[in-house]
Amino acid sequence: VQLQASGGGLVQAGESLRLSCTASGIIFSRYVMAWYRQAPGKQRELVASITSGGTTNYADSVKGRFTISRDNAKNTVYLQMNSLKPEDTAVYYCNAKDIVLTTTIRNYWGQGTQVTVSS
């Protein structure tokens, strides 16, 4: 299984970035896909998730600025990040979970992509 994330970089506050994560080795359409981030000295936190049916969930800190989407035909999940702030600076990780009822039976992580927002 591989989750290949890309799209990170250095931007100024107020600018946008789009992250992509392409999965291989899994039945992508059945997985809950998510983006997490981890800033230096902080715990990893959930940024946004999207179910196989397209239901989305966002951290309060990114609501209205970030949009998660998926293309099952391309085995890819995206994170469109607008109006970026310095506090969005972190390593962003792609995550894939296979959830049956309420139990996570498979859980995979990508390698992370750095997002740096300068003020």
C-alpha distances in Å from residue 50, one per residue of 12, 42, 97, 115? 27, 24, 10, 21
The pLDDT assigned to 84 comes to 98
How high does pLDDT run on average in the chain?
Answer: 97
User: Lowest-confidence range among 27-31, 36-40, 100-104?
Assistant: 100-104
At 76, the pLDDT band (50, 70, 90 cuts) reads very high
For the segment 9-21, the average pLDDT, to the nearest whole number, is: 98
For the segment 58-73, the average pLDDT, to the nearest whole number, is: 98
Q: Which two tokens stand for residue 55?
A: 């239901």
For the segment 93-101, the average pLDDT, to the nearest whole number, is: 95
| Residue 5 to residue 76: CA distance in whole angstroms | 9
For the segment 63-86, the average pLDDT, to the nearest whole number, is: 98
- The percentage of residues in the chain with a pLDDT greater than 70, rounded to a whole number, is 100
- Of the CA atoms within 13 Å of residue 65, those in its CB half-sphere come to 16
The pLDDT assigned to 95 comes to 98
